[in-house]
Amino acid sequence: MLWRKRSFSLLIPPLLLVLLAAAACSPQSTPNAPVVTGADKRQLTQQALQILKTDAPGAAKLLGEAAAEGEHVVEKLETGIAISYRHGVTLESLIIANRAVDIERLQPGMRLIIPGFPAAQFNLAAMHERGLGGFKADLVAAAKWYEKSAEQGFTKAEFMMGSLCQHGQGGQKRDGARAREWYELAARKGMVEALYNLGTLHVQGSLVERDVVQAYKWYALAALRTGENERNELESQAYDEQSQGKLDATVEAAANRRAVQRTHPEKAKAPDAELRNLVSSQSSLRDEAKRLYVQLRTDKLVRARSDSDEKGSPAAARKGVERLMNPADKTAAERLVAAFEFKPDTSEK
């Protein structure tokens, strides 16, 4: 026996018919798609980088997904902060991606661009630049992704945009002012290459006004960061020296003196040999002296690395500019270096 499909007549009250008709005539906003958060895109990016050497096309696909921009339809009473939190992007990135929109005055139905993941955009740009993952080598296509990443504050992308503007590549006009702006964004977060290139821009004077004071400042800061960026490695070297008994005698004496001064100030001017014997006889002093040795030795190694004047190093460039300066210029430049404060770089965290 076959079952017949029954049909029913629905009785709808007249008032409800009016409401349904009004709703049908009113503009409809597209429901928001399931949210792919910044954390999801970070994971896609990490997966892409893990398989890049063995499966470049697969890596390119994953990076494309993470780098792509999305869309969000503003819902009732929704704020920019709530939207940025929902999608796992910074409010600043959301504002930059929607310059024509006042994020403080959102209305239901407005469509916002949700920026892609900046690290994915940078790596996708690099693949376009090098012709990896099935892409043809295309610096113009790369520049588009570098710029999207740089606009979100990704330090390496800021540097790349500075380089493209400096050399007039990737569809960018050769523009010293723009190059300087991009380099400064990366330099303020301690990127040595950006600091160095700023020094070069100012000493050459072909794209920006020649300024030896600024050139000295940027080269000197690049030299400082060269050592600081290797602090962890140099600290390991100090620990190795200590464990192998290959101590720097000057640093050892300074560490012993500081350790003793904290608990035996009356011994502040005692000979080094006496201090060494005192430290070796007390475990608390011995431990403190070991800690201080690593700290002081690391500082000394960092300074040495910063002052290395090998050809092409920031310190060598700084010394070259110094020869062009008068005493007043050097004093002014050193004040600028002393007053400069680096910002933490959180772009890859």
- pTM metric for this prediction: 0.81
Per-residue pLDDT band at 225 (split at 50, 70, 90)? very high
The confidence score (pLDDT) of residue 229 equals 87
- The DSSP string of 116-151 is --HHHHHHHHHHHHHT-TTPPP-HHHHHHHHHHHHH
- Quote the pLDDT of residue 1: 35
CB 223 within 8 A of CB 202: no
Residues 113 and 199 in one domain: no
Does the pLDDT value for residue 8 go beyond 80? no
The confidence score (pLDDT) of residue 9 equals 38
Q: What is the pLDDT of residue 349?
A: 75
Give the pLDDT score at 262. Answer: 86
Residue 27 has pLDDT above 50, yes or no: no
CA dist list (Å): 105 to 83, 93, 110, 169 = 13, 17, 10, 39
User: Which range has the worst mean pLDDT, 48-57, 158-167, 273-282?
Assistant: 273-282
Whether 338 and 248 map to the same domain: the answer is: yes
Q: What is the mean pLDDT of residues 248-277?
A: 91
State the amino acid at position 92 in one-letter form: E
Q: What is the tens place of the pLDDT at every residue in 184-210?
A: 999 999 999 999 999 999 999 999 999
Query: Which residue, 87, 120, 153, sits at the end of a domain?
Result: 120
Whether 349 is in a domain gets the answer: no
Q: Rounded to whole angstroms, how far apart are CA atoms 223 and 215?
A: 12
Ramachandran assignment for 82, one of left (phi > 0), alpha (psi -120 to 50 degrees), beta (any other): alpha
In a domain, 63, yes or no: yes
Residues 114, 209 within the same domain = no
Query: Residue 61 class from Cβ within 10 Å (0-12 exposed, 13-18 middle, 19+ buried)?
Result: middle
Select from 292, 301, 259 the least CA-distant residue to 278.
Answer: 259
The band of 268, judged by pLDDT with boundaries at 50, 70 and 90, is confident
- CB contact at 8 A, 116 and 69: yes
Which residue's structure tokens are 């709530």? 82
* Co-location of 92 and 201 in the same domain: no
Instruction: List pLDDT tens digits, range 91-138.
Output: 999 999 999 999 999 999 999 999 999 999 999 999 999 999 999 999
In a domain? residue 229: yes
Residue whose token pair is 């470049």: 56
The answer on 200 and 84 residing in a single domain is: no
Tokens of 259: 């350790």
Establish if 23 belongs to a structural domain: no
120 touches 144 (CB < 8 A):
no
In a domain, residue 75? The reply is: yes
pLDDT of residue 33: 66
202 and 321 belong to one structural domain: yes
Residue 88 lies in a domain: yes
- The CATH code of the domain that includes 86 is 3.10.350.10
User: Do 327 and 239 belong together in one domain?
Assistant: yes
Predicted confidence band of residue 21 (pLDDT cuts 50, 70, 90): very low
Q: Are residues 197 and 77 part of one domain? A: no
- Verify that 116 and 196 share a domain, yes or no: no
Residues 104 and 227 in one domain: no
105 and 196 part of one domain? no
pLDDT-based confidence at residue 5 (cuts at 50, 70, 90): very low
For residue 168, is it within any domain?
no
DSSP-derived secondary structure letter, 71 = E
- pLDDT of residue 17 exceeding 80, the answer is no
Q: How many helices (H) and strands (E) does the chain have?
A: 17, 2
CA atoms within 13 A on the CB side of 118: 24
pLDDT value for 13: 45
Q: Quick one: 327 and 231 in the same domain?
A: yes
- Of 11-15, 86-90, 277-281, which range is least confident? 11-15
Question: Of 120, 150, 168, which one is at a domain's C-terminal end?
Answer: 120
Q: In 10 A of CB 215, how many CB atoms?
A: 26
Tell me how many domains the chain contains: 2
Q: What percent of the chain has pLDDT over 70?
A: 91
Nearest to 188 by CA among 201, 203, 198: 198
Query: What long-range pairs does 315-320 form, CB within 8 A, spacing at least 24?
Result: 315/219, 315/223, 315/226, 317/196, 317/199, 317/200, 317/203, 317/219, 317/222, 318/199, 318/216, 318/219, 318/220, 318/222, 318/223
- Asked which of 120, 142, 159 is the last residue of a domain, the reply is 120
In angstroms, the Cα distances linking 323 to 197, 211, 212 are 19, 14, 10
User: CB neighbours of 276 closer than 8 A, spacing ≥ 6?
Assistant: 252, 253, 256
Indicate the average pLDDT of the chain.
90
Q: Does residue 275 lie within any of the structural domains?
A: yes
With bands split at pLDDT 50, 70 and 90, how would you rate the model's confidence at 6? very low
pLDDT(261) > 70: yes
Range of the domain at 57: 38-120
